[in-house]
Chain A
Amino acid sequence: MPMAERVAIVSVAQTKYHPNRADVNEEELAYEAIKQVLQETGLTLSDMDSAVTCSQDFWDGRTISSMNIQHVVGAHLGHEDNISEDGINAVYAAMGQILSGHQDIVLVEAHTKESQGDKSLIENAAFDAILMRQLGLDFTSAAALQARRYMYKYGITAEQCAKVAVRNRGNAKNNPFAQEPMDISVDDVLGSKMLVSPIRLLDAKPISDGACAMILAPEGKAKKLTKSPVWILGASNCYETHYLGDRDLADCDALVKAAQKAYSMAGITNPLRQIDVAEISTEYSYQEPLWLEGLGFCDQGEGGKLVDSRATNMGGKLPVNPSGGVLPGNPNGVAGMARVAEAVLQLRGEAGDRQVKGAKVALAHGYTGICGQHQAVMILGNM
């Protein structure tokens, strides 16, 4: 049976990421982003057939966190579902709704105010209560375990990771939404305070508040809503096992699988050659070479060399995170959706000073959970 028309993203918006938006509650924060996509398309909330939201009860500090934003997504007597993974999965779910033919115009939204909760306590609650939680781990300390293992197995160096931090924070200077753009050197990173060995302060993202919104539509309607629809060519996600000892943390099989499915849907056989720009979710600098390997941009263990080669710098063969990505500050849950938003801007030629010229195919990536237990990949194109 032939698939329905292609699905397009017709409008995207992000709020400027900020360490503490004490001036807004979740509803107002989400609305800042939603207002922009409504303005750009000329649509109203009543035009939405459905809304897919992304928020976490644990971060919002209340049960049924999507109750916070019902009014601003137009869910009165309407259709809304909440995906509790990273926001890129909400875009994926919306895509499924449209491809099924049951919904047409779908509003997608993600918001998190990291400033309002205790990150370590919240993240600790994700660890298995019987065996792992009492170790007092949070995502950062688990990431440190992964970083150590990855660096040990493949000889990735702290300098290579620091280069990632330097590049991401430097790219962020061209991104008007970025929270902490910085002009730093590798020595600055290596000299910054140690958080959890080997992750240093400048290797990690800061606490951040923000929201992201987008509108998706099927092909016929999309062409009427915008001159530059961006098509979702392929998407998938994948779960890894939970217990940290069950997998080799130096590998990311879930990402490999998610990427393979997304590439296959999009007809990508040589990612390095066929993808023009990649926005990948990197909360800690070591993740970039690791995820680059999982995405097939280089062989396993060669992530560090790829970083050294400067192929992932602006002007390189595959610019990674022209926006600066997650490292300069992106809240949990919003991060992956923001990567999709940035990829869309690239493909529309609207990325301003961070534009990768002539970008036709982009990759967006998001992950959720401990050491990237859940990975999601989306391939987008503008033709």
Chain B
Amino acid sequence: MSKESPNKKAEGPEYIRIKFDAPRPYNWSTGKYLGKVYAEAKENKKLVSNRCPQCKEIWLPPTPVCPKCKVDMGWDWVELPQTGTVYQYTYLVYPLWDPHFGEKWANPYPSATILLDNGVFYRHWIEETDKEKLRVGMRVQAVWKEDYDERGQGVQDILYFRTIEA
């Protein structure tokens, strides 16, 4: 709680501000759909998602109900390619921090929407931090955390996407 200003000679009213700085802990479940993504990433360094039985579209992240058909997605899993093309990208130049986990993100850093080779869009960080070298259309490949014990963060097990063809 902030104290009243010691300078009692100040003109006008003193505004008191009360600060609360308590983190609120949460314990989120992945549920079984995201849980499968986490398991495949940790165990096999694979990226998977599920496919709608009706429209056959692959939704990433996986979901219990197809957003378009509004039918039960069932349990049809597809392994996604780990290479793709940068479709759009953006380049953050000021520091952000993750409100869920309290970590400061790297700055500057580029994040891109990647069109994976099977036509599914995926968004992730790019390794290349030189803005001049970033280009729509560049080919990239997922780079995983190699240490098994460090994995288990779902798609965060992919460190970034590395340029394979500029």
Binding site for B on A (CB under 8 A): 21-25, 27-29, 31, 35, 44-46, 58, 61-62, 70-72, 74, 76, 113, 115-118, 121-122, 125, 129-130, 133-134
- In the complex, what residue of chain B is closest to A30 when comparing beta carbons? B64
Residues of A within 8 A of B94 (CB): none
How many contacts A-B (CB < 8 Å)? 76
Cα(A130)–Cα(B2), bound, Å: 11
Interface contact B18-A130, CB-CB below 8 Å: yes
Q: Given A117-B24, A118-B24, A118-B25, A71–B67 Cβ distance below 8 Å? A: yes
Interface contact B24-A71, CB-CB below 8 Å: no
Query: Would A31 and B32 be within 8 Å (CB), given that A129-B18, A129-B20, A134-B1 are in contact?
Result: no
Residues A115 and B18 in contact in the complex (CB < 8 Å), given A70-B67, A71-B65, A134-B1: no
The smallest beta-carbon distance between B102 and chain A, in angstroms, is 13
Of the candidates B34, B66, B70, B100, the one whose C-beta lies within 8 Å of that of A25 is B34
B30 at the interface (CB under 8 A from A): yes
Tell me how far the C-beta of B125 lies from the nearest C-beta in chain A, rounded to whole angstroms. Answer: 21
Q: Is B22 part of the contact surface with A, judged by Cβ < 8 Å?
A: yes
Instruction: For B64, give its contact among A71, A74, A76 (CB under 8 Å).
Output: A71
Contact of B28 among A61, A129, A130 (CB under 8 A): A61
B68 at the interface (CB under 8 A from A): yes
Given contact pairs A25-B34, A130-B18, A134-B18, A116 touches B29 in the complex (Cβ within 8 A): yes
CB atoms of B20 and A27 under 8 A apart: no
Contacts of B64 in A (CB 8 A): 27-28, 31, 71-72
Assembly CA distance A207 to B104 (angstroms): 33
B71 at the interface (CB under 8 A from A): yes
B97, CB-defined interface residue at 8 Å: no
Cβ of B83 to closest chain A Cβ, rounded Å: 28
Smallest CB-CB separation from B59: which chain A residue?
Answer: A71
Query: Which residues of chain A are within 8 angstroms of B34 by Cβ–Cβ distance?
Result: 25
Contact A28 to B31, CB < 8 A, known contacts A71-B64, A134-B18: yes
Minimum CB distance partner of B99 in chain A = A63
List chain A residues, Cβ under 8 A from B27: 115-117
Q: Known: A28-B32, A71-B65, A76-B70. Contact between A117 and B26, CB under 8 A?
A: yes
Name B58-95 residues within 8 Å CB distance of A.
63-68, 70-72
Interface presence of B109 (CB below 8 A)? no
The interface size bin for chain B is 20 to 34
* Contact in complex: A46, B70 (CB < 8 Å): yes
What is the chain B residue whose CB lies nearest that of A116? B27
Q: Report how far A356 CA is from B68 CA in the complex, Å.
A: 42
4 residue pairs, one from A and one from B, having the closest CB atoms: A25-B31, A45-B70, A61-B26, A76-B67
Q: Is the CB of A25 within 8 A of B29?
A: yes
Q: Is the CB of B29 within 8 A of A76?
A: no
Residues of A within 8 A of B65 (CB): 31, 45, 71-72, 74
Q: Smallest CB–CB gap between B99 and chain A, Å?
A: 8
Q: Which residues of B contact A28 (CB under 8 A)?
A: 31-33, 64
Residues of B17-69 at the interface with A, using a CB-CB cut-off of 8 Å, are 18, 20, 22, 24-34, 63-68
Q: How far is the CB of A248 from chain B (nearest CB, A)?
A: 28
Q: How far is the CA of A134 from the CA of B20 in the complex (A)?
A: 9
Please give, as numbers and ranges, the residues of chain B lying within 8 Å of A117 by CB-CB distance.
24-27
Q: Are A27 and B70 in contact (CB-based, < 8 A)?
A: no
21 A-B pairs within 8 Å (CB atoms) are namely: A21-B29, A23-B32, A24-B29, A25-B30, A25-B34, A27-B64, A31-B65, A35-B72, A44-B71, A46-B70, A61-B24, A71-B63, A74-B65, A117-B25, A117-B27, A121-B25, A125-B24, A130-B18, A133-B18, A133-B20, A134-B1
Question: Complex: how many Å from CA A21 to CA B33?
Answer: 14
Extra 18 A-B pairs, beta carbons < 8 Å, given A24-B32, A27-B31: A25-B28, A28-B31, A31-B65, A45-B65, A46-B70, A61-B28, A61-B100, A71-B64, A71-B66, A72-B64, A72-B65, A74-B65, A117-B27, A118-B24, A121-B22, A121-B24, A121-B25, A134-B18
Provide the residues of chain A in CB contact with B22, threshold 8 Å.
Answer: 121
**In the complex, what residues of A have CB within 8 A of residue B68's CB?**
76
CA distance A256 to B8 in the complex (A): 48
Q: Find chain B residues with CB under 8 A from A44 CB.
A: 70-71
Closest to B71 in A: A44
| Chain B min CB distance to A65 (Å) | 12
